[in-house]
Chain A
Amino acid sequence: MRDVAVIAFAQDIAEHDRERNEVEFVIPVVRDAIAQSGIDRHDIGFTVSGSCDYLSGGPFTFVQGLDAVGAWPPIKESHLEMDAAWALYEAWVAIQVGDVDSALIYGFGKSSLGDVHEIFNLQNDPYSVMPLWPSTVDLAALQACAAIAANVTNEREMAEIAARDRRAALANLHAIAGRDVSADVLLGEPVTHAPLRDADIAPITDGAAAIVIAAAEIANHACERPAWIRGIEHRIEPQSMGVRDLTRSESTRLAAIAADVGGGPIDVAELHTQFSHEEPILRVALGLGPETEVNPSGGPLGANPIMSSGLIRIGEVASRIHSGSVHRGVAHATQGPCLQQNLVCVLEGERN
């Protein structure tokens, strides 16, 4: 395998942005990430994005996104209808094949245009679930109920996670739901989607993010402390919630083993937890101990731009490696109802 590193990361996040369209979110993050990378725009080997037509309400959303990239002369380009964390995986594969040495990855979406929790009902089984119209939050709440019933977590632990993430988000310029709050205060707030409180649920967020990755010969010049991708793996599970054990994340566990999360100490973990109860489930699946700091950015509970939120987890770990504040970390991305599909990426700085 070729050594590949994250060398640049940019994000642009807003709450209910009524000025900019999707392209106008992508323009600055792509420009910023490419500028950080030091690579000339025309020398980027491969470009790949993640977006979702149903978020924007019409087909071919990614075609407009391409306008922000400057795809001229023509570029090697691909698009996944997936969170852009998976686009990063496709880019990493392209570099592994060996015909390109660098890649631009971006994800974007405006979750505020429609009722995003309702829209994602269309992701459910079209015959036995979709006609009932459960919302994303409803299904997550069922998982939280199952996890509490199985003693995998409890309302206090969930409140502590939510409070920690909201406090951490205060220090993150890109977060929108920062709040100086304690678990005790949250536990006094109403349960809105039993057993979830509003603070347990990620905020509706608009945004875009971009990352540049490169093979070693470029990365070592582009970046003082490249964030090396030591393992990147993803797995999916059957969708039916009644078939899966909702109190565990088997796909995360398998991806974590394959990515060798346990191959060294994990200083930091950025987890794509759109609901607070998901963190205890994922900690078990990833084998994280108390020494690992989770979601120092505030995580998705601080800002959750759908289609780039998973990519941002990779960027948040990478930027901490770039700054030298951590040595080894794990990023996690998810999509599908109740953690159906999960990606795990282990990032590491060069050991001095």
Chain B
Amino acid sequence: MAGIRTAVVGVGQTRHVSARHDVSIAGLVREAAVEALEDAGMDWGDIDAVVIGKAPDMFEGVLMPEMYLADALGAANKPMLRVHTAGSVGGSTAIVAAKLVMAGIHKRVLTVAFEKQSESNATWGLTVGMPFQAPLVAGAGGYFAPLIRAYMARSGAPRHIGHLVAVKDRLAALRNPKAHLHLADIDLKMVEESFLLWDPLRYLDVCPSSDGAMALVIGSEDVADAAPGPAAWIHGTAMRSEPTMFAGRDQINPQAGRDCAADVYAQAGITNPREDFDMAEVYVPFSWYEPMWLENLGFCAEGDGWKLTEAGATAPDGDIPWNPSGGVLSSNPIGASGMIRFGEAAQQVRERAGDYQVELKTGLALGQAYGGGSQFFSMWVVGNQKPE
């Protein structure tokens, strides 16, 4: 991996809920940032730069809200950047922040991603009707459900696979006190009986809409060595994008995702992700995206993703746990969701994941986020040992 050694030295996040009526936008992001700073043993004055990410400004109706948030995030007279790469933004934001350290420009960077979706309505925000465009698709599910159907046709996956993921991730969330959904009674029957929104997606196959924020403090090697807590060393970062629509584009198993994984694996020395990682936090906003991304990320051969899910390989007690935090299916403040994946992966290798800690063998974990029409990808590999 290029650049100087860099690590996550502080992690903070809010409890994710459908509506945080008790805080302002600034109050929300502060909670995550303060927790990350405390974890890193730092105060505001220690931070060299701030990098903020979120999804479209129309969710909160504040244009470039980072301008107003400069005070709350201690950015006065410091550099501040604002990233927006659709659903992958939380991951991209962490990578932009990490690169400031890898390049040797800064030693301590605070990065925060958030969404306060209760200020409006996510379905409205994602599908604002524009002139010259037919208002056909209601919400992100209307876009992704046809792709899921195509995956089912291509792979021969049976219809219950998605529901298995929906149950698995909600059960996992019961161990994560910060997860939005805590569905104590969740089982296959409950998912199967939930409302059919966008056939084949049922209500419980779909992520919730959350208010929440995630923050990381990223530091250079000397900062990490001196930090009070363990470090999650960054072994690789990668981003890839491809156009929304072109002839022959594989929307189910996008080339950009495969290229992004190949890039980050090469940096981290990963040759067999299912064996080389202890776990992965992957952006699964619709249950079926677990088997789809298992294939895209090379955890199995193409067409076999659903078999891993069905066999329980991705469960917390499986051989390669995916989303033991409960994942996007249990908490989805859109702009933060990618950074939550990256941060949860870091917490696992720091052995700070509490009741949903997985057993560490290789000490390596993957964080992944995607966005747009499955066209923007960001990934990182973190580990409990310094990269070579």
Contact = CB atoms under 8 A, between A and B. Distances in A.
- A-B interaction: yes
A172 interface: no
Contacts of A76: 238-241
Nearest to A233: B79
Interface residues of B, number: 60
B70 interface: yes
A58 B130 CA distance: 7
B332 to A, nearest CB: 16
A53 B57 contact: yes
A60 interface: yes
Given A59-B126, A82-B64, A122-B63, A93 B2 contact: no
A254 B240 CA distance: 34
A236 B83 contact: no
B70 A96 contact: no
Contact of B63 (A52, A60, A251): A52
Interface string B129-155: 010000000000000000000000000
A234 B80 CA distance: 8
Nearest to B56: A59
Secondary structure dominating the interface of A: mixed
Contacts of B70: 236-239, 340-341
A126 interface: yes
Interface in B242-262: 242-244, 246, 254-256, 259-260
B130 A341 contact: no
B17 to A, nearest CB: 20
Contact of A97 (B92, B102, B239): B102
Contact of A80 (B2, B25, B62, B83): B83
Interface of B: 1-3, 24-25, 55-58, 60-65, 67-68, 70-71, 75-86, 92, 96, 99-100, 102-105, 125-126, 128, 130, 238-244, 246, 254-256, 259-260, 372-373, 375-376
21 contacts: A53-B58, A57-B128, A58-B58, A59-B58, A62-B84, A63-B375, A67-B244, A75-B241, A75-B242, A90-B81, A93-B105, A97-B102, A99-B1, A99-B3, A123-B62, A234-B79, A235-B78, A236-B76, A236-B79, A239-B68, A240-B71
Given A99-B2, A236-B79, 11 more contacts: A47-B241, A67-B244, A80-B81, A81-B64, A82-B82, A93-B103, A97-B103, A123-B68, A236-B76, A236-B77, A251-B77
Interface of A: 1, 47, 52-54, 57-60, 62-63, 66-67, 71-82, 86, 89-90, 93-94, 96-99, 119-120, 122-127, 130, 233-240, 250-251, 254, 335-337, 340-341
